[in-house]
Amino acid sequence: MAVAAPTINEAAPAGRKRIKITRTLVFSILFVAFGVWLILGAINTLTPETSTLLTFGAGTPDLPVPTQIITLISGIYYAAAGVICLIMAQQRLRTILLLIGGVLLIPVIIIIAAADASTNVTTLLSVSLRLSTPIVLGAMAGIWCERSGVSNIAIEGMMLTGACNGFVVFTILSPNLATGEAQLVGVIISILSGGLMSLLLAWLSITYKTNQIVAGTVINIMAVGITSFIRREVLFSSEAGRGTLAPWPIPVLSDMPVVGEIFFSGRPIFYMMFVLVIVTHVMLYFTRWGLRTRAVGENPRAADTLGVNVIRNRWINVFIGGMIAGLAGAWFSLETTGSFDDNMTSGRGFIALAAMIFGKWTPFGAFAGGILFGFSDAMGQRFQFLGVPIPPQFLQMVPYVITIIVLAGLVGRAQAPKADGVPYDKEGK
Amino acid sequence: MSISPATWARTALNRLLDASPLVIALLLAFMVASTLLLALNVSPLEGFASMFEGAFGNENSTAETFVKATPMLFVAIGICIAFRGGMTNVGGEGQMIMGAVAGTAVALAAGEPLGWLGIPLAIIAGFIAGALYGGLAGWLKAWFNVNEILSTIMLNAIAVQFMNFMLNGPMLDPTEAGVNQIPKTARILETIQLPRLSLPLPPGVADLFSLQNAELFARTRLHWGLVIAVLLAVVAYFLLWRTTVGYRIRAVGENERASRYAGISVRGHMVLSMMLAGGFAGLAGIIQVLGLQYRLQTDGSATGFTGNAGFNGIVVALFGGLNPLGAIPASAFFGGLLVGAQKMQRDLGVPAALITSINGLIVIFAVSSEYFRVWLTRRRRLAEAEAQQKAASASTAGVPS
């Protein structure tokens, strides 16, 4: 997946005059459009009496906000910032303006969406973060694989297999074991079956050097078949099970007013997300293994010359990535729903891939991307609830559209590892 | 130099091995399937017999097989063109959906006054919509160097949401709103539906095979879409191997740099091959509506409408050797596999999902056996070089220095 490989672009005909599409240009135009839309909306549909009541859960005061004024002000800000960015050449100023606009986006959307109603901000943020768990975990899985040069389209399939197998084992064990123990075994099985699927990918793409995308697509197709097969064979006939992983409120911290509910009263896999983001970051940038992994992903031949075993490095990284994807799968069945349905991951593996690309293949970037997509997921549900005239389907498109834009290099160059998706052939040229 | 029988036998064996990866892949997949069937306490022979019976056992099941094969064949034709052009198009699902949405919209709008003219109009609209959607991925690849696999996966997801939006909003049939929660459009007029396909038989033949009707495939769901697909497969074959455009598409796919030096517009042909691929997938979508379902409906997922034809089409194309003509039998084979699997599920209680995984296995084996073939050739070449070297050193050893 050599996304950034400059093969064709270099040969662009020099004579033709074209406006250079830059990140700032695109953003500026988007900002102006968004600002104008906000101003018009504020004048046409909102009245000065309209107000939004923001609540933060028990024990905190509610915050009433005048919707029209806020909408007008933010609309003016966006329009002005867009125009300034178009006119002024100062890169620093532009960046600051755009950044503020980006940060403002989420509160503005919440306030407008909840016009004439109240919305619980704490719940919304906490739901966003929980929904982003599988996306972030999947993105971490992708980083482990792709940083070592194996592009992994099969995160979706690995998640699905993990979700299915973990839950099946949990269901089988639960009559004989305590729920907690059965769940623990289930999660471990999820992790291992994700790893097992990744070994298939490794075997096909590293050892057999098949096209990694074909291998990944095939694994996805197979995962759908295998899991629905297993579900029909095992889960239909068994009645035991159900129930999800128990929440683990962290003793003192979870009692804090807003932050407690958002961060410290989750379930185990939710916490694992934070742990794994940090672990991945440390592994990648502060360990010998991480240095080697990046070397293998960027320039396997050089790494090989210096004595790094490229093939082994890739196998291990892909396996670890697969295990993380399996854990993400356990989030669906064991942590959240307490059941397994055919194709229950419903494209989250691909969104994870999108989050990874959005974060330019870095753990914290991918984390931010995952949270953004989790938020748009949560807003999708919320928008339907509040009756906002934006069809929910368009909100669900957002992550994919953003990914394409990022891939196209309009919003900063997406920098894939150079050897991503290229099989390493020791004897090759 | 005379050829010794041993050499001849080795050459023959090599040829056989070269030609056999697909057969080996099939055999391996069936072996794995047999093992799985045994694990389920089903005799593999009985299982495969039931599958074959379900796929080609009688008039109706054969027709069903072809009905399943039709959209896969359309997609596969497009995939052949795209893959030959060096574009790994996995966006068949999304392109099918876009073709279906646009085509259905035209079919519904055409309505009474245009009569049967609505059919070609809808088909053309489906082709154009699919082509634009596929071309979008091609354009992103050619001008912005966006990996087409990633972009088509993303575009698939976008297309599903777009279809859900259209079916829940602008295209929702008002009389159907709220009925059993499945969003669908109004039924298209009978004049715009593709006619059912049946073959008149010479007198006596029907009695010979104890068919119920004088016409083969009468009273089945088989429709003219199959004929269109087969004809277009032939057209696509000629396009790829008998026209300049096809030559250029293949050249770009084979070697981008060399094509550029030869003066071929690489970017243009990238977009073109993706547009053709998308167009054929779009045809698969609209033909599915015009010939079979008579309305667009879904359960909210892509497969709810496409039945996975967008992905299975890739399998069919690979299995047909990336040749549109090869895709014709390949699509019938996979159609049979899918229909037969359902029969096996009814008869023996073996989940049809098993077949989905076997489909995947076949691709894995097919792709790996390709590697095996390359490895064989390389080993053979090394052996030949070694032999030559030996011969050379033997001849120099005889000459006094």
Q: Which residues of B touch A404 (CB under 8 A)?
A: 140, 146, 151, 154-155
What's the CATH number where A161 sits? Answer: 1.10.3470
Q: Does residue A261 sit in the same domain as residue A379? A: yes
Residue A7: is its pLDDT beyond 70?
no
Distance CA B23, CA B369 (A): 10
- What distance separates the 2 farthest-apart alpha carbons in chain A? 75
- Specify the DSSP element, H or E, that contains B199: strand B199-200
For residue B165, which residues of chain A lie inside 8 Å, CB to CB? 391, 393-394
CA closest to A414 among chain B residues:
B146
Interface size A-B, in CB pairs within 8 Å, comes to 139
Average pLDDT over residues B384-397: 76
Closest CA to A310 of A328, A298, A325: A298
pLDDT digits (tens, 9 = 90+) for B303-317: 778 888 888 888 788
- In this model, does residue A318 exceed pLDDT 90? yes
Using CB atoms within 10 Å of the CB of residue B251, give its burial: 0 to 12 exposed, 13 to 18 middle, 19+ buried. Answer: buried
What range defines the domain where residue B160 resides? Answer: 62-350
Residues of chain B neighbouring A6 (CB-CB closer than 8 A): 145
Contact assessment for residue B145 and residue A4, using Cβ atoms and an 8 Å cutoff:
yes
Identify whether B34 is part of a domain: no
H/E stretch holding B91 reads: none
Contact B165 A391 (CB under 8 A): yes
Note whether B34 contacts A: Cβ–Cβ < 8 A: no
Whole-number Å distance between alpha carbons of A49 and A336: 40
More confident residue, B133 or A424: B133
For residue B285, give the nearest of B123, B68, B165 by alpha carbon.
B123
- Beta-strand pair A51-55/A63-66: antiparallel
Check residue A402 and report its DSSP letter: H
Last residue of a domain, one of A63, A82, A116: A116
- pLDDT of B24 higher than 60: yes
The answer to whether residue B266 is domain-embedded is: yes
> CA-CA distance, A395 to A377, in Å (whole number)?
8
Q: Scanning every residue of chain B, which has its alpha carbon at the shortest distance from the alpha carbon of A213?
A: B149
CA distance between the termini of chain A? 19
Considering only residues B209 and A20, tell me which one the structure prediction assigns the higher pLDDT. B209
**Residue B379 belongs to some domain of the structure:** no
Does residue B370 form part of some domain? no
Inspect the interface and report whether the beta carbons of A153 and B355 lie closer than 8 Å. no
Residue B189 DSSP one-character state: P
pLDDT value at position B73?
Answer: 96
**CB < 8 Å to B360, chain A:** 218-219, 221-222, 225
Is residue B393 one of the residues assigned to a domain?
Answer: no
> Is A424 contained in some domain?
no
The DSSP code for B187 is: P
User: Per-residue pLDDT averaged across B249-256, rounded?
Assistant: 90
* Interface contact B37, partner A, CB < 8 A: no
Q: How many Cβ atoms from other residues are within 10 Å of residue B85's Cβ? A: 26
User: At A422, which helix (H) or strand (E)?
Assistant: none
Distance CA A223, CA A344 (A): 12
Residue A14 is assigned to a structural domain of this protein: no
Q: In this structure, what token pair is assigned to residue A363?
A: 């753990």
Are both A106 and A143 inside the same structural domain? no
Where is pLDDT greater, at B370 or B7?
B7
A contact test, residue of B89, B136, B140, B145 with most A CBs within 10 A: B145
Query: Cα A421 vs. chain centroid, distance in angstroms?
Result: 21
Residue A353 with chain B: CB contacts under 8 Å: 150, 153
The band of A13, judged by pLDDT with boundaries at 50, 70 and 90, is: very low
Contact between A210 and B338 under an 8 Å Cβ cutoff? The reply is no
Position B371 scores a pLDDT of 61
In a shared domain, residues A69 and A172? no
Query: Which range among A222-231, B181-190, B223-232, B344-353 has the greatest average pLDDT?
Result: B223-232
* Contact (CB<8Å) A8/B266: yes
Question: Which of A62-66, B174-178, B262-266, B366-370 shows the highest mean pLDDT?
Answer: B262-266
Query: Is B356 an 8 Å CB contact of chain A?
Result: yes
pLDDT confidence of residue A286: 94
Spatial separation of the C-alpha atoms in residues B180 and B158, rounded to whole Å: 25
Q: What is the rounded average pLDDT of the residues A371-386?
A: 72
Q: How far apart are CA B128 and CA B120, in angstroms?
A: 12
Distance from the Cα of A68 to chain B's closest Cα (Å) equals 28
For residue B359, tell me if it sits in a domain: no
Report whether pLDDT(A65) > 70: yes
Q: What is the mean pLDDT of residues A271-282?
A: 94
- Listed in order, strand segments (DSSP E) in A16-129 are 51-55, 63-66, 118-120
Residue B268 tokens, joined: 């243009």
Dihedral Cα A76, A375, A216, B36, nearest 10 deg = -150
Lowest pLDDT segment from A99-108, A302-311, B46-55, B293-302? A99-108
Q: How far is A73 from chain B (nearest CA, A)?
A: 31
pLDDT band at A6 (very low <50, low <70, confident <90, very high): very low
pLDDT of residue A428: 61
Query: What confidence tens digit (pLDDT) does each residue in A294-308 have?
Result: 999 999 999 999 999
* Residue A400 and residue A310 share a domain: yes
Chain B residues close to A357, C-beta within 8 Å: 150
- pLDDT band of residue A16 (cuts 50, 70, 90) is very low
ipTM of the complex: 0.78
Rounded to an integer, what distance in angstroms lies between the CA atom of residue A277 and that of residue B161? Answer: 30
The region of weakest confidence among A18-32, A265-279, B280-294, B378-392 is: A18-32
What residue in B sits closest to A399 (Cα-Cα)? B154
Considering the domain boundaries, does residue A418 fall inside one? no
Q: What is the pLDDT of residue B210?
A: 64
Confirm whether B204 is domain-assigned: yes
- The answer to whether A125 and A388 are in contact (CB under 8 A) is no
Q: Which domain holds residue A102?
A: 21-116
**Residue A56 lies inside a defined structural domain of this protein:** yes
Amino acid at B197: L
Closest among B150, B110, B100, B148 to B297, alpha carbons compared: B100
What angle do helix axes B21-39 and B44-56 make, rounded to 10 degrees?
Answer: 120
Lowest mean pLDDT among A396-405, B357-366, B384-393: B357-366
- Record the tokens describing residue B215, joined without a space: 């016409």
Domains of chain A: total:
2
**pLDDT for the residue numbered A196:** 93
Same domain, A264 and A308: yes
pLDDT digits (tens, 9 = 90+) for B145-196: 887 877 898 899 899 989 988 888 788 777 765 555 677 888 888 888 888 8
**The residue to which tokens 């096909």 are assigned:** A204
Indicate if A28 and A150 belong to the same structural domain.
no
Least confident segment among A313-327, A359-373, B376-390: B376-390
Q: How many CB atoms within 10 Å of residue B183?
A: 23
Higher local confidence (pLDDT), B73 or A418: B73
Q: How confident is the model at residue A10 (pLDDT cuts 50, 70, 90)?
A: very low
d(CA A161, CA A154): 11
Q: What angle do CA B54, B58, B60 make, to 5 degrees?
A: 85
Q: pLDDT-based confidence at B283, cuts 50/70/90?
A: very high
What is the sign of the dihedral through the CA atoms of A34, A39, A40 and A46?
Answer: positive
Question: Structurally, how many domains does chain B consist of?
Answer: 1
pLDDT-based confidence at A27, cuts 50/70/90? confident
Per-residue 3-state assignment (H helix, E strand, C coil) for A141-179: HHHHHHHCCCCCCCHHHHHHHHHHHHHHHHHHHCCCCCH
CA dist B314 and B90 (Å) reads 8
Q: Is the pLDDT of residue A17 over 60?
A: no
Contact A297, A147 (CB under 8 A): yes
Q: Torsion-angle region of residue B371: left (phi > 0), alpha (psi -120 to 50) or beta?
A: alpha
Same domain? For A104 and A60 the reply is: yes
d(CA A374, CA B129): 31
- Residues A375 and A106: their CA atoms lie apart, in Å, by 9
Share of chain B above pLDDT 70, in %: 86
- The pLDDT score that the predictor gives to residue A420 is 79
Angstroms from B147 CA to nearest CA on chain A: 6
Task: Measure the CA–CA gap between B98 and A343, rounded to whole angstroms.
Answer: 22
Residue A59 lies in a domain: yes
Q: For residue B359, list chain A residues with Cβ-Cβ distance below 8 A.
A: 221, 225
- Over pLDDT 70: what percentage of chain A? 87
Q: What is the largest CA-CA distance in chain B?
A: 99
Are residue A141 and residue A201 in the same domain, yes or no? yes
The DSSP code for A66 is: E
Residue A154 has pLDDT above 80, yes or no: yes
User: Do residues A50 and A193 both lie within one domain?
Assistant: no
User: Do the beta carbons of residue A243 and residue A267 sit within 8 Å?
Assistant: no
In this structure, what CATH number is given to the domain that contains residue B83? 1.10.3470
Same domain, yes or no: A148 and A103? no
Residue B19 above 60 pLDDT? no
Asked whether residue A389 is domain-assigned, the answer is yes
Does residue B111 sit within a domain?
yes
Q: Does A16 fall in a domain?
A: no
Residue-wise pLDDT tens digits, A279-297: 999 999 999 999 999 999 9
Do A146 and A293 fall within a single domain?
A: yes
For residue A282, count other CB atoms closer than 10 A to its CB.
12
What token pair was written down for B392? 């050379």
The SS3 assignment for B178 reads coil
Residue A10, domain member (yes or no): no
> Would you say residue B22 has pLDDT above 80?
no
Q: Do A110 and A159 reside in the same domain of the chain?
A: no
